[in-house]
Amino acid sequence: MLQQSVRGQYGEGMIDGERVPGYRSESGVASESRTETFVALKLNIDNWRWAGVPFYLRTGKRMAQRHTEIAIQFKRMPFELFRNAPFRTLHTNTLVIQIQPVEGISLSFGAKIPGALLRVGSVNMSFEYSRYFGTDAYTGYEVLLYDCMIGDATLFQRADMVEAGWKVVDPVLDVWRALPPRKFPNYASGTWGPSEADQLLERDGRKWRKIES
């Protein structure tokens, strides 16, 4: 369990050019608080459809940016047609569902660059809600509150779905309670979390997506 999860608590740092305090210096927080403000997880779904596909989750407070997205990185083919070409190190195709602060969907893939030489470059197909419709999307809370008033439960979690989610999280919390953190705070405000979160992916030969500012 410890090899599949990383917890963190922010210390002091810089946000938008201003010095901000660490979590333990916040009003109403104990000076030795062990409350987590960051988590990174590697999860797997044990069924035939998702066997062998890792799911990496990362969330936290006081990070470099407020950004929410779902990135789907496609597998490499077992046999690459141009495996001996110099561009074989290109990243695999990636589908990104952007939730905030910009809502949209983008697909990044390789395409041959026009010309006699065999060269491949990365191209991006992008849709942004506000650019296409000329207005920002409604916030999730607006939609849910309206659905409450009209009695539409389509977007709400069922009780069994909530229970299934806690069955995933509870074992992690049990281990964390049994083994208190030894070095909180372990990441500075304004960063992307503790270094152990990077190591979580590096052990699998992967890394977190770089978020453009």
pLDDT, tens digit, 9 for 90 and up, residues 14-27:
998 999 999 999 99
| Burial status of residue 193 (CB atoms within 10 A of its CB: 0-12, 13-18, 19 or more) | buried
Domains of the chain: total: 1
Asked if residue 53 is part of any domain, the answer here is yes
Encoded amino acid at 80, one letter: E
Asked if residue 156 is part of any domain, the answer here is yes
Instruction: Decide the pairing of beta strands 94-100 and 104-112.
Output: antiparallel
User: In this predicted structure, what is the pLDDT of residue 10?
Assistant: 98
User: In this predicted structure, what is the pLDDT of residue 83?
Assistant: 62
User: In this predicted structure, what is the pLDDT of residue 199?
Assistant: 96
Asked if residue 194 is part of any domain, the answer here is yes
**Domain range for 109:** 2-202
Asked if residue 207 is part of any domain, the answer here is no
Could you give the percent of the chain with pLDDT greater than 90?
A: 62
Q: Which of 4, 14, 71, 82 is nearest to 39 (CA)?
A: 4
User: In this predicted structure, what is the pLDDT of residue 92?
Assistant: 79
* Position with higher pLDDT, 59 vs 85: 59
Return d(Cα 92, Cα 121) in angstroms, integer.
12
- CATH number, domain containing residue 49: 3.30.360.10
Q: pLDDT tens digits for 71-112? A: 999 887 776 666 666 655 566 789 999 988 888 999 998 887
Asked if residue 209 is part of any domain, the answer here is no
Residue 184: pLDDT over 70: yes
Asked if residue 210 is part of any domain, the answer here is no
User: In this predicted structure, what is the pLDDT of residue 135?
Assistant: 74
Question: 145-154 long-range CB contacts below 8 Å, 24 or more apart?
Answer: none
User: In this predicted structure, what is the pLDDT of residue 193?
Assistant: 96
What are the angstrom distances between the C-alpha of 30 and each of 8, 24, 26, 37, 63? Answer: 16, 6, 9, 14, 21
Residue 153: pLDDT over 80: yes
Indicate the SS3 state at residue 165. helix
Q: What is the mean pLDDT of residues 142-164?
A: 91
Asked if residue 177 is part of any domain, the answer here is yes
Asked if residue 79 is part of any domain, the answer here is yes
Prediction pTM value: 0.85
Q: What is the mean pLDDT of residues 163-170?
A: 94
